[in-house]
Amino acid sequence: MSEDKEAQENELLALASIYDEEEFRRAESAQGGEIQLCLELPPDFKLLVKGEKTAEYNVCFLPPLVLNFELPADYPSTSSPVFSLSSKWMTKAQLSSLCQRLDELWEENQGFEVLFMWIQFLKEETLSFLSIQSPLELNRSSSKGGGERRKTDPEAKVGTQCMSQSEKPEEKKADVKKENSGQHFSPSSQSDPRAVVLMDPHSDPLPQLLDFDEAQRQRAFDGKVFCCGICFSDKLGASCLCFKGCQHVYCKVCMTEYFQIQIRDGNVQCLNCPEPECTSLATPSQVKQLVDEESFARYDRLLLQSSLDLMADVVYCPRHSCGTAVMVEPDTTMGICSACQYAFCTLCKLGYHGVSHCKITADDLRSLRDEYLSATPEGQKFMEQRFGKRVVQKAVEESFSRDWLKENCKCCPRCGTNIQKVDGCNKMTCTSCKQYFCWLCLGALSKVNPYSHFNNPHSPCFNQLFHGVDVDDDEFWSDEED
């Protein structure tokens, strides 16, 4: 018995020296412990999810197999370890098959320590032994609908625990002999009570598997050394940021400064990878980890606003004290703010004026026209959805009309009517109010003697009646013709 005790102590000490605390935990009150075994997956291993929609997910890690064991007093000379094997993603039949194989390994090596052999088998040969290949099929509907993984075996609870100290030695010995009596559990005929499925039958297994994979990937990344592409310093992954789309790595110090500058300048859509021509964007969670609360609040606000700007049916309340996002009905230019109840025109941003023309400035109208004409077909379609196709086209036409009038016409100094000069001298007559005026200085002329304006030496238009006009010697003009 003393030799068995010494062998057990040596084996447990060896396991503690080989595996870290997260992989191996020794029991405090008995000769036993728990081992977490992460399987070595091949490259490009995938999960295949079948249900309403079929999808594949690349994974590098799956939740570990958990081997709980207790060493009987006569181990390793006579009895094998008492154990249970549990998993969050394997079936009861697969775990039962592994339990049977562990029994076989003990029979082949009875009288010797087998824990390390078991661990190596489970860690390195489980996938090949169970013929598990990529893609690993995960049926989400069966996990919720009451398949094999939902069934609760009352004996499974027994299999999750090693023998307690309250049991009698005779009962322990009897159970040990039963374990080693050569009666193995065949997956095709009977499930092994030592095989325990840890998955909650009422939960979706996919998020748990993907979350574990993400956590393990981050852990592996944190332990590697990377060279920052900005400051060219070698740093651990725990001090670096990896862009998920391109896998380019930079240190957090450089990226924090870069993010803060971009957010301060309002370029929240430009938090992309600094690598030239790379378009991978930082995720909001990555930004939140690096910048202070005030900067992230600004980033979050501007990001929401930029997203709303890309929605054709969303405009903003024009009141400076409000600025609330407003949903606009299709084919209308009226918006009603849900916060301040202000009804406004989405085109000119003034109070809603129905079918009346917008009181929009020439510069604003010209800007709208130029933006529309210079936009891509997709951009033009977006503006037509936001303002209405008829409204945009009318605004373009009106802008062109205003520009033409500005270049070719002048306003009557009395009534403001646009007057185009086609031919004749610089003494003009308004077609609307019949007022005489000078085409050069737009001054009103006397109805009695309108030409005195051009004959007075003190007039700014002295002797300029025909200034800029090609005069034909054979052609004369009269007041009536003017």
3-class secondary structure, 211:
helix
The CATH label, of 3.50.50.60, 3.30.40.10, 3.40.50.1820, 1.10.3720.10, for the domain at 223-309 is: 3.30.40.10
Strand partners, 390: none
Q: What is the pLDDT of residue 186?
A: 42
Q: What is the fold of 2-200? A: Ubiquitin Conjugating Enzyme (3.10.110)
Summarised one tens digit per residue, pLDDT across range 82-118 is 999 999 888 888 999 999 999 999 999 988 999 999 9
- Using one digit for the tens of pLDDT, what is the confidence trace for 118-153? 999 998 899 889 988 888 887 654 444 433 333 334
Q: How confident is the model at residue 35 (pLDDT cuts 50, 70, 90)?
A: very high
HEC per residue, 165-186: CCCCHHHHHHHHHHHCCCCCCC
* pLDDT tens track for 384-434: 665 666 667 777 777 677 778 777 888 898 888 888 888 788 889 888 888
Q: Which residues are catalytic?
A: 425
Residue 122 confidence (pLDDT): 92
Choose among 119, 168, 137: nearest CA to 56.
137
Q: Where are the domains of the chain?
A: 2-200, 223-309, 320-407, 419-482
The top-scoring range by mean pLDDT among 1-10, 166-175, 312-321 is 1-10
Residue 180: what pLDDT? 38
In contact, 359 and 367? CB cutoff 8 Å: no
Q: What is the enclosing helix (H) or strand (E) of 438?
A: strand 436-438
pLDDT band at 210; cut points 50, 70, 90? confident
Which residue is it, tokens 């370890």?
Answer: 81
pLDDT of 142: 43
The predicted pLDDT at position 360 comes to: 64
Q: How does residue 364 score in pLDDT terms, banded at 50, 70 and 90?
A: low
Instruction: Quote the pTM value.
Output: 0.51
pLDDT at residue 388 in the model = 61
The tens digit of pLDDT for each residue in 161-191 reads 333 333 333 443 334 333 433 334 444 446 7
Measured CA to CA, the distance from residue 394 to residue 82 in angstroms comes to: 85
